[in-house]
Amino acid sequence: MSNHSINFFIGLVLITILVLSANSISGILFPNESAISPLIIPDPVKVQTPPFIISQIFPFKNTKVSISFPVNVSNLEGTRTRKATSVRDNYSDSLWIADGYRAMVKDPAQDQILSDLLKELNKVRLLQGLSDDEYLELMAVYVQSLRYESLEQNPAKFPVETVIDGAGDCDDKSLLLAGLLAREGYSVALLSFRPEAHMAIGVGSYDYLYKKTGYAFIETTNYSFVGVPTGILGDNLTLYSNPDIIVINKGEKFYSRGNDTRYIHDNYLKSDKKVKELASQLKRLNDDLMAKRIRIGELDSQIAQLKNSDNIKEYNSQVLAYTTLVSIYKTRLDSYSQTYSEYETYADIHNYISEHKYDRKGVCDYIKRYMPIW
């Protein structure tokens, strides 16, 4: 081997050693991002405990839905007393949070309970002949119907805990709905608003998308139409930040009724605006009518005093003023009645939308039937 070849070989070996050394040192100085996510560990003592029944009644469309299914208490005890401690190295906050939530949604230890719950919801789907969109709405309404409960220093629950408790806060209920939608093949993500400490659901949709997320918004803390974003949270906190998007499932099922819910929300805002405008008009009209009633009473009293007097000219003048004012009063009263009727129409629409957020189709039909054409 020539000296040139030997020198080249020695140089190659040295480069290889340096590369290997660098990888080894970087592994020490900058360890790979890794974490142990939350995990359900069922309590073996409770495994043989007889199951108990979970029941829930909630409104959907134009009826009441009742579901009931058995739950093994070992899953509940496992989440509450034997939840594995989460460990992290140099894991970034966003990845740490996202992986933790995904692990909680997808933990296989809760598959049986969520499967039993979905069987009950599928019975409703078959009974009512629901489409994929309506079935998504059914799952959303079920989760929204669960009691909202926010506790101090309360970590997020596994979906199974929220089912068993029948209650949860925004992240608890969002994790549950994400788990249900993912298991049924829908495209779904968690929308985490860290500055406002709020969480909602993003569902794959063809229209009415939330900001630039690529998803339609679903609020889980109360009844709300798919796509309609939360405006004001408790204590008048506005939802203003752009959410972290935590993809749970890249499913093939998308929501396709966004134009309906946009139509509902647009008319909700219109009716709200008209109610406020008409309420202001009614106040002005009412104040005017009250002033005129007082003046009519004064004229009536003056006419009565002048009736038996010799001042015929003044009497006739007051009678003319009285009849003119009464005529104006009746015209203003008619205007008040018409305005009040219009006010009632918009108030009824506004209230109907507010009180039937579990019935998209019914609300759409109601608006088309009763909403005046502007």
Residue 245 CB contacts under 8 Å (≥ 6 apart), including other chains: 189, 190, 191, 192, 202, 213, 214, 215
Q: Are residues 213 and 290 in the same domain?
A: no
What pLDDT is stored for residue 232 in this prediction?
79
Q: What is the distance between the alpha carbons of residues 55 and 70, in angstroms, rounded to a whole number?
A: 9
Banded pLDDT at 10 (limits 50, 70, 90): very low
Domain interval for residue 221: 52-256
317-356 pLDDT per residue, tens: 999 999 999 999 999 999 999 999 999 999 999 999 999 9
Are 337 and 267 within one domain? Answer: yes
Do 170 and 151 belong to one domain?
yes
Domain for residue 40, yes or no? no
- Helix (H) / strand (E) element for 39: namely none
Confidence grade of residue 7 (pLDDT, cut at 50, 70, 90): very low
> What tens digit of pLDDT does each residue of 356-368 get?
999 999 999 999 9
Is 43 inside a domain boundary?
no
Regarding whether 75 and 97 lie in a shared domain, the answer is yes
Distances (CA, A) of 170 to 11, 173, 183: 61, 5, 20
Helix, strand and coil content of the chain, in percent to the nearest 5, comes to 55, 15, 25
Number of compact structural domains in the chain = 3
Residue 1 reports pLDDT greater than 60: no
Q: Within this chain, do residues 213 and 66 fall inside the same structural domain, yes or no?
A: yes
Same domain, 189 and 232: yes
Q: Is residue 356 part of a domain?
A: yes
210 domain residue, yes or no: yes
Res 332: pLDDT: 96
